Chains A and B, each alone.
Chain A
């Protein structure tokens, strides 16, 4: 049974006169012990899904979903306290912009110790508890690969470089020992060595503690090295979803193929300095979303039928939504 199960999540934004669908019938499941990658370019609504799951949406956003449940309990119908309890204990979120997501008026050590749940703190007396907090803070900080804990635990968020901030966000998420980690672009702008370090850490946690991870990124190289399953989003619509291996070997949706082609590391046969295959045009903004399949205007295989939103089709556990998928050669 999936841990996190989302079916037909639609998010509408009121902009005074009309409603814009920022997310249009997105399906997403995360099974326990699974690393699910959520891929999409900026403006595809990846971060909106994170906010929708964590319940951090402003009131002018309207969520409707057929199903949005955590371990069988519906997230939409539960009370705020219950939901907060789940967010506190079971789900941890690494936000996109680490420096702005932290409290600027407290040191990193204080923030990290604050996020340790009481039941994980050992000791009876306050000095024992304080020591235990300090100890687990230091060990978590070491675990994510920050060496000089004394320096950084006493620093304020504005004093640290971004990559330390990113690691710190991961530490803050991991210290409460969650069941699901939602990581919103945790490796953005990181150098390769640090990135592999973080990815290895996440993979190890997934294997040893069977932590489920929802990994949101557009770094396909990082994703393909660790994720088991992948969901591709484009402009608020889920485009294709399935096992990582299958998707990489044989993508069915033109957009997935274009995404995979855009990373030169995947292609050994590509001669150096050759032109990379890519899709023309840019991601449309929310004000001007095309009707039907939103990839339509950019898609090389688009035809008249593409103005109707394609239904989700399924081959085993591989789902896609396209009228003219790549395995149907005849157009």
Chain B
């Protein structure tokens, strides 16, 4: 397998200065080292406020880190420097699906315009090429060409999720980062989305990093699991290894909580 992305020493610090009668709040994330291979699925699990969403945002560059470097298909990106535009170089290889995908879409414009925006801002395609790219992407995620004329409110939950997926895929990325893509979905829509992602991954060779609380789905689709606690990666490894032989206390807690819900197989 080929290495697609390498993260070295990613660090984020947040500190509130001490004020009258108020304890200083210190939150540090990292240093985080991570490698992502081609076509690999990585799941990030952990409790609330462990810094999972922040890590995802830092990986795609939505939040600037304090230190660290990201290598994406052998190009180095300085994760820290975002202020001066000169040292800022962008890449279309990594894209993100946000936590509340339906709320992250502009309700005032059509799906076609939502998908057109990233293309207009990041590529030099002509209008015709953009148009055909959008239609191709919509077809890929299981929507129709006519959906470009739809507004957000005309679509159902599952379709909105597909549009969010299409918006991430329209730039033809190599890595997809998703923050709780399945949390707000109904069971039948959820398995449709899971199937969609699995087929897309097979077709396009996408790498997929996602955050989830649903350990059943994590176990089903992830190759590797990363467990986070208080901004640190406390354990990482192959999914089966993590689920069978958890080492760290946090991992044990999560897995035990999950196992206690799963019906044990009975001999009858």
Q: Which residues of A contact B (CB under 8 A)?
A: 41-42, 161, 163, 189-196, 199, 218, 220-222, 224-225, 248, 258-259, 261-266, 268, 270, 272-273, 275-279, 282-283, 285
Q: In this assembly, does B260 line the interface, its C-beta being within 8 Å of a C-beta of chain A?
A: yes
Q: Please tell me if the beta carbons of A275 and B195 are within 8 angstroms of each other in the complex.
A: yes
- Is B102 part of the binding interface, using a Cβ–Cβ cutoff of 8 Å? no
Q: How far is the CA of A259 from the CA of B192 in the complex (A)?
A: 12
**A265 vs B243: C-alpha distance when bound (angstroms):** 13
| Interchain pairs with CB closer than 8 A, number | 101
Is B186's CB under 8 angstroms from A42's CB? yes
6 A-B pairs, CB-CB below 8 angstroms? A163-B48, A191-B213, A192-B215, A196-B261, A261-B191, A265-B261
Q: Assess the B192–A278 pair: CB atoms within 8 A.
A: yes
**B260: chain A residues within 8 A (beta carbon):** 196, 225
From B158, which residue of chain A is reached at the shortest CB distance? Answer: A282
Query: Given A191-B213, A221-B216, are A199 and B199 also a contact pair (CB < 8 Å)?
Result: no
Determine whether the beta carbon of B219 is less than 8 Å from that of A264. yes
Alpha-carbon gap, A270 to B190, bound state (A):
17
Residue in B48, B198, B213, B261 with the greatest tally of chain A CB atoms within 10 Å: B261
- Does A220 lie within 8 Å of B187, measured CB to CB? yes
Count B-side interface residues using an 8 Å CB cutoff: 37
* Cβ–Cβ contact A192 & B254, under 8 A: yes
Q: Which residues of B contact A42 (CB under 8 A)?
A: 157, 186
Given known A-B contacts A259-B187, A279-B188, A189 and B213 have beta carbons under 8 A apart = yes
User: What's the least CB distance linking A328 to chain B, in Å?
Assistant: 23
List residues of B whose CB falls within 8 A of some A CB: 41, 47-48, 156-159, 183-184, 186-192, 194-195, 198-199, 213, 215-217, 219-221, 239, 253-254, 257-258, 260-263, 265
A residues in contact with B184, CB < 8 Å: 189
Docked-complex contact A266 and B188, CB < 8 angstroms: no
The main secondary structure of chain B at its interface with chain A is helix
Nearest-Cβ distance from residue B43 to partner chain A, whole angstroms: 12
User: What's the nearest-Cβ distance from chain B to residue A18, in Å?
Assistant: 22
Contact across chains for B188 and A278 when beta carbons are under 8 A apart: yes
Residue of B nearest to A193 (CB): B257
Closest to B192 in A: A278
Question: How many angstroms between the C-alpha atoms of A192 and B216 in the bound complex?
Answer: 11
Q: Which of B41, B187, B216, B257 contacts A41 (CB 8 A)?
A: B187
**Interchain CA distance A263-B214 in the complex, whole Å:** 10
Contacts of A277 in B (CB 8 A): 191
Nearest chain-A residue to B220 (Cβ)?
A264
Which residues from chain B contact A191 at a C-beta distance below 8 Å?
47-48, 213
Q: Contact at B220–A273, with CB atoms within 8 Å? A: yes
Tell me the minimal C-beta distance from B236 to chain A in angstroms.
Answer: 18
Chain B residues within an 8 Å CB radius of A189: 183-184, 213
User: B262: shortest Cβ distance to chain A, in Å?
Assistant: 5
A53 to B159, CA, bound (A): 32
